[in-house]
Each structure stands twice: as C-alpha cells, then as structure tokens.
Structure 1
Amino acid sequence: MKIARWSPQRDLFGLQSEMNRLFENFFDPDFFRGGEQFDSWLPKMDVSENDQAFRVDLELPGLSKEDINLSLQDNILTIEGERKQEAENKEINYHRVERTYGKFLRRFSLPTLVQADKIDAEFKDGILHITLPKAEEVKPRKISIKAGK
C-alpha cells in the first residue's frame, strides 16, 4: 500500500469548488422546477480576468452560433442554448451512449461593472470566447504623486 500525503488545502479547495457549483445552480430560476428545462448538460466554462477585461470560454462542441444565446442583465452574464440530438436510427443497436443533448443554461455574476456595448463574442472550433471589457471606473490606474512645496 502506497502512503499518500494528506493535504487539507486540497480538500478545502475541492469543497469550495463544489459549493460554488451548488450555489451557481441554486440561484438559477429553473432549479426548483424539477430541472425539466435546463438540466440536460452543462458545458465546461473557464472564467479569467486581467486589468482590462473578463474572459469567459465555453466548450460547446456540436453546436453552431445559431444554437447559442447570450445576454447581460444586472451584471449577470447568461449563456443558454441547445445541443440537438441526431435523428435516431432504429436499425442500430448502441453499445454505449455517452454524449449528452438538450438545453443548457450557465450564468456568471460579474464582480465589477463591464462596458455592455463593447462585449465581444467569437465562436470558433466548438469554443465560445466572450470578452467583457471592464468599465473605466473599475480599471486600475496609476496615480502620480506631486512633490510638496
């Protein structure tokens, strides 16, 4: 038996990740409807930022840009869409079906204001890239110090 070093930080980070996922879904208006509308699958999402903008990247293989809707309201970015199932062929006996289909909904609450009129979205090779420029008043800026008299 191999002895592995226990890391409480790893357990805490895993717990934090699970809690974030739970609360992200909990505040979804469809959470209490039994999930009939938007629980088929959730695309993987990366969210990052620099001094100028937030960046959201979603894996959406098998979709076209027409299958995706984006909106921003009250500083909450909403991404929703649907991956449609291919026509079922009754003559084929499947041994395994792992791909998921149906509607999805992802929401991300932005921690600072963004310039809504300058949001850019590009869909390429099954990845949706969204750039949300930060509002000028929240961007860090250097303040010069004047010498006293």
Structure 2
Amino acid sequence: MFLVPTSRQAHDLSRSLERLFDDSFGNAFGSDARDVAQALRSPALDVTETDHAYTVKLDMPGVPKEAVKITVEGRRIGIEAEQAQTEEKKDGERVLYRERSVARFSRTFSLPQEINEAESSARMEHGVLILTLAKRVAKGGARLTVN
C-alpha cells in the first residue's frame, strides 16, 4: 500500500514530544533556535479514489495559494509551501512569547497509478489544498505480427 495510516493518538503524542523538545531547545538556545526546530511541518492529508482520478486534501492553514509548489513525477507527488510570519509590532510593544513562526510545509507520497499532469488540477479552499489528480490511461494496445 502507498500510505501508512497512523492513529490520532500517535499524532498527538508526536506533537507533545515536539513541543517538549522545542521548549527545552528554545530555552537553552534562545527563541531563534525554537524557530529552526519548528521550521518543517508535514501537513495531514486524505486521499480518495474514483475510476478516473485521485483526490488529495491537505490541511495548510494560513498558506497563500501562490506559495504552494506541487510536483508530479509519474506516481510520485511532492507538495511544498512556506507560510510567512507577519510582524505587526506597535510602538512600545515587545514580544513575550512566540509560537507562530515561519513554517515550511512539505509532503511527498506515491500513488498506485501514474498521474496525467495535463488533466489534473489544484485549488485552495478555506486553508485546505485540494488536488484532483487524473489517472494516466494506458494507450490503446498495439498488434504484433508473428514472423
């Protein structure tokens, strides 16, 4: 199979461990180190299939559609994006704690069948990237002559 499902509890445990590491790492080396530790995220995704296409949905909240880069190489799909941090400091204001930082999203996976890039599409709706990936149809069979 092409995807290995994990339970929600495993995801929550992973996030708890990341936060523990990030807090310890950030306290020891400053807030810049915490930004590096949280830099790369792997968005959650759902994949469904019909006879003609795959539909992939990825959670990418706060990421503008212009920042998303999608690569299709046969059966392999790569998705990358960067969510920029907005600095909205006012005079006399100082940051006491920051968890929201520049985030890079990256996810690569393989599907069971090759994708037809020309007939595929992508759109962003309410922070969810929706890919409709058309399956590549095998070309008509050829006849062989027996010699």
TM-score, length-scaled by structure 1: 0.59
Task: State whether residues 52 and 135 of structure 2, in contact with CA within 8 Å, keep that contact through their aligned partners in structure 1.
Answer: yes
CA shift, 1:98, in A, is 4.2
Aligned equivalent of 1:123? 124
Describe the superposition over 1:53-91 as per-residue Cα deviations: whole angstroms up to 9, x where unpaired: 111111111111111111111321111010111116382
Aligned equivalent of 1:132? 133
Instruction: Report sequence identity in percent.
Output: 30
Task: State whether residues 85 and 100 of structure 2, in contact with CA within 8 Å, keep that contact through their aligned partners in structure 1.
Answer: no
Describe the superposition over 1:6-62 as per-residue Cα deviations: whole angstroms up to 9, x where unpaired: xxxxxx965xx88xxxxxxxxxxxxxxxxx7x9522222111212221111111111
CA distance in 2, matches of 1:118, 1:131: 9
Task: State whether residues 69 and 81 of structure 2, in contact with CA within 8 Å, keep that contact through their aligned partners in structure 1.
Answer: yes
Give the AA of the match of 1:118.
Answer: E
> Residues 1-149 of structure 1 correspond to what in structure 2 (within 5 A)?
14=7, 39-87=39-87, 89=89, 91-94=93-96, 97-137=98-138
SS of residue in 2 equivalent to 1:117 = helix
SS of residue in 1 equivalent to 2:66 = helix
TM-score, length-scaled by structure 2: 0.60
Task: State whether residues 40 and 101 of structure 1, in contact with CA within 8 Å, keep that contact through their aligned partners in structure 2.
Answer: no
SS of residue in 2 equivalent to 1:51 = coil
CA distance in 1, matches of 2:128, 2:54: 16
SS of residue in 2 equivalent to 1:136 = coil
* Structure 2 alignment gaps of length 5 or more: 12-35, 140-147
CA distance in 2, matches of 1:117, 1:44: 26
CA distance in 1, matches of 2:138, 2:101: 42
Task: State whether residues 41 and 101 of structure 1, in contact with CA within 8 Å, keep that contact through their aligned partners in structure 2.
Answer: no
Task: State whether residues 39 and 103 of structure 1, in contact with CA within 8 Å, keep that contact through their aligned partners in structure 2.
Answer: yes
CA distance in 2, matches of 1:84, 1:13: 29
